[in-house]
């Protein structure tokens, strides 16, 4: 499974990129607004830090305006993935851009039917929002399972399942077991994947026992 980070905070992206675990970045208008940065300049900076796909979302909702915005965003860097909503107009834009070799992330997916349409339109990624479904009492991970099974049964569909609205590490693990291609997570969730109390306890014991030996691996 690939790990994308869902943030517009450049420092967080730089820190995670240094670990070698980061395969891409997703942003959205809400994250851009929270960052307070200039959208275009920020996307350019992120693309310099991360060689993998960087999702930059269109701001319009009509076909003509979305297409123009998507075409422009695609010129910012070779690894820009144009992000469009899962609407009829958004899928028309997806078809147009993907047909010309631009990576497209179709976002705000909440049903298997929508995921099928995105794949038919040539989406590089489809982004089902598991946390938002959980919030309204529906089964977010059940949606991931259905989409993965559907894509696996239709091998001519090349769209990757990009699990979004991830709320906790269990979402990531369950998605990986189901065969999802990508999970995009806030930085805090990625850091939680490192954590286990037995790791902390074991390391503390190793450090204490090493100190008792009075030895050093490197001379001062």
pLDDT at 219: 82
Residue 220 has pLDDT above 90, yes or no: no
81 touches 53 (CB < 8 A) = yes
Per-residue pLDDT reduced to its tens digit, 15-51? 999 999 999 999 999 999 999 999 999 999 999 999 9
Residue 172 has pLDDT above 80, yes or no: yes
Percent of the chain with pLDDT over 90: 99
The mean pLDDT value for 171-192 works out to 97
Question: Is 216 inside a domain boundary?
Answer: no
pLDDT at 140: 98
The mean pLDDT value for 145-163 works out to 97
Altogether, the residues listed in the chain come to a count of: 220
Residue 107 has pLDDT above 80, yes or no: yes
Question: Domain tally for the chain?
Answer: 1
Range of the domain at 198: 2-211
Question: Is 36 inside a domain boundary?
Answer: yes
142 touches 110 (CB < 8 A) = no
Look-up: residue for tokens 């503390």?
204
pLDDT at 32: 95
84 touches 90 (CB < 8 A) = yes
Record the tokens describing residue 84, joined without a space: 């469009």
Question: Is 220 inside a domain boundary?
Answer: no
43 touches 81 (CB < 8 A) = no
Record the tokens describing residue 171, joined without a space: 């979402």
Question: Is 217 inside a domain boundary?
Answer: no
Residue 133 has pLDDT above 90, yes or no: yes
The mean pLDDT value for 125-154 works out to 98
**CATH number, domain containing residue 94:** 3.20.20.70
Question: Is 186 inside a domain boundary?
Answer: yes
Question: Is 157 inside a domain boundary?
Answer: yes
**Average of per-residue pLDDT values in the chain:** 97
Question: Is 30 inside a domain boundary?
Answer: yes
Question: Is 148 inside a domain boundary?
Answer: yes
Residues identified as active-site = 83
The mean pLDDT value for 112-130 works out to 98
């Amino acid at each position: 499974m690939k790990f994308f980070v869902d943030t517009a905070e450049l420092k967080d992206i730089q820190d995670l990129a240094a670990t070698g675990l980061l395969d891409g970045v997703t942003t959205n208008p809400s994250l851009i607004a929270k960052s307070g940065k200039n959208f275009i300049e920020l996307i350019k900076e992120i693309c310099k830090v991360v060689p993998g796909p960087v999702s930059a979302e269109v701001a319009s909702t009509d076909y003509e305006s979305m297409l123009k915005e998507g075409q422009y965003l695609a010129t910012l860097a070779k690894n820009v993935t144009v992000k469009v909503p899962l609407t009829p107009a958004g899928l028309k834009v997806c078809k147009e851009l993907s047909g010309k070799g631009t990576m497209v992330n179709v976002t705000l997916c909440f049903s298997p039917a929508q995921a099928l349409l995105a794949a038919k339109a040539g989406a590089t990624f489809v982004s089902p929002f598991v946390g938002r479904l959980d919030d309204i009492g529906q089964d977010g991970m059940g949606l991931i399972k259905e989409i993965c099974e559907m894509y696996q049964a239709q091998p001519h569909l090349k769209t990757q399942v990009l699990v979004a609205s991830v709320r906790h590490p269990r979402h990531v693990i369950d998605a990986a077991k189901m065969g999802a291609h990508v999970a995009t997570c806030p930085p805090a969730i990625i850091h939680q994947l490192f954590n286990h109390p037995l790791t902390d306890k074991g390391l503390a014991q190793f450090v204490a026992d090493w100190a008792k030996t009075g030895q050093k691996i490197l001379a001062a």
